[in-house]
Amino acid sequence: MSVVDRARRVLPGGSTRTTLFVPPHPPYAVRGEGAIVTDDTGHQVIDCNNNYTSLIHGHAHPEILDAATDAAQCGTAFGLPTHSEVALAEHLRDRTGIEQWRFCNSGTEAVLMLLRAARAHTGRDLIVRFEGSYHGTGDAVVSPTAPGVVPGSVLVLPQNDLGALTAAMREHGDRVAAVLIDLMPNRAGLIPADAGYVEALHDLTRQHGALLAIDEVITFRLREGGLHQVYGIQPDLVSVGKVIGGGFPVGAIGGSAEVLSPFVPAPGAVSWGGTFSANPVTMAAGLTALRLFGPAQITELNRRGDELRSRLRAEGVEVNGSGSLLRLRTADPTELWWSLYRRGVLAGTNGLLALSTAMTPAHLDQIAETVTAVLGRDGAGQQR
């Protein structure tokens, strides 16, 4: 029996992550080395998916592997805190200026924790968020009409519509615990938010005593302290994940000691555990990955992304994004995904391309040529 047949017997639809699914079924990865992934047929692709932007240094980076192995050899999980979570929190504080951190295992969980923090800190119930932005799979942040969802007190507003936001805050502002925004939402097209809009949003939260919560799960890689630094605003809460775990499962929230004080263990405090949260293997791998991704590396990777985007645009490819994150626009994402895959490029199922420091100029040339062949104005078209 093929692995796909076996999979369909034991996993609904044959796989675990909806976000990885491409019909009829995705290929199976067996190995990752630097920028290259090999599947179970031996086909090799340049990895522009990088586990949905999380593998900032590609696969099996020797220093990150050493850090993870050293940590694992000392024990993979404890019913006690470890020094490793202190070290990663100190690093995050130093690179962002955000005072305190709290770890979990995914971006989804970080957003859940962020919403709990906002509601507990303000004593208010309502969360404002924006249509089309993805914040993981918690009930409060998915479509309120999706099956199985009980959304609770959430107001979903159109992206970038200051009139709608101002009116909503005028009417409900005294109930709003937090306004949650992704400054460059991938699902909404990977277009950076307008600076004037973000400034006005910031001011509205100040006027109404609501927290400004920025979801940096994807965008953290774009600046040393996250994309919000470009806008010159200070968020009350941030959620992060992906790159901060060095390739291992991770999420975290950051905020001032005051905003995160509901978590300080005491009678009446927010109780929030997590058997594997702040796992020492993740913490060690994440710290090493982030140390290897300082201002110089960030600038260089963003420059390469900007160069790739310009090159693709010059070939007639429609592409959005900023720095090391690109998103190809196409009417048929499944067709695009397979066309790129067969030609040796692994993208996100929605056309997302995330660069890694493991990519060489030759890899970037090959990515540009492959995307141009599929989507460029003189390309061969999206034939499989």
Task: Among 34, 58, 235, 241, indicate the residue that binds ligand PMP (CB under 6 A).
Answer: 241
- Residue 15 binds ligand PMP (CB under 6 A): no
Alpha carbon 67 to chain centroid distance? 23
Sign (positive/negative) of CA torsion 183, 184, 185, 189? positive
Q: Which of 215, 231, 236, 341 is catalytic?
A: 215
Minimum distance of ligand PMP from residue 248's CB (angstroms): 11
Q: Is 215 a catalytic residue?
A: yes
Task: Among 26, 32, 34, 136, indicate the residue that binds ligand PMP (CB under 6 A).
Answer: 136
Looking at 130-138, 172-180, 317-325, 358-366, which segment touches ligand PMP (CB under 6 A)?
Answer: 130-138
Minimum distance of ligand PMP from residue 282's CB (angstroms): 12
Which residues, at least 6 apart from 215, have a Cβ–Cβ distance to it below 8 Å?
107, 111, 114, 133, 135, 180, 181, 182, 238, 239
Q: Closest CB to ligand PMP among 222 and 364? A: 222
Q: Which of 52, 134, 231, 341 is catalytic?
A: 134
Q: Closest CB to ligand PMP among 53 and 302? A: 53
Q: Is 52 a catalytic residue?
A: no
Minimum distance of ligand PMP from residue 215's CB (angstroms): 4
Tell me the C-alpha distance between 130 and 15, whole Å: 29
Q: Which residue is nearest to ligand PMP (CB)?
A: 107
- Residue 106 binds ligand PMP (CB under 6 A): yes
Question: What does the block give as tokens for 292?
Answer: 């290897």
Q: Is 134 a catalytic residue?
A: yes
Minimum distance of ligand PMP from residue 89's CB (angstroms): 19
- Residue 330 binds ligand PMP (CB under 6 A): no
Angle, helices 361-375 vs 333-342, to 10°: value is 130
- Residue 218 binds ligand PMP (CB under 6 A): yes
For the beta carbon of residue 172, count every other beta carbon within 10 angstroms: 16
Q: Rounded to the nearest 5°, which phi and psi values hold at 146?
A: -70, 150
Task: Among 49, 108, 322, 372, indicate the residue that binds ligand PMP (CB under 6 A).
Answer: 108
- Residue 111 binds ligand PMP (CB under 6 A): yes
Minimum distance of ligand PMP from residue 139's CB (angstroms): 14
- Residue 107 binds ligand PMP (CB under 6 A): yes
# residues contacting ligand PMP (CB under 6 A): 15
- Residue 178 binds ligand PMP (CB under 6 A): no
Active site residues: 134, 215, 242
Given the rule CB under 6 A, which residues bind ligand PMP? 52, 106-108, 111, 134-136, 182, 186, 215, 217-218, 241, 251
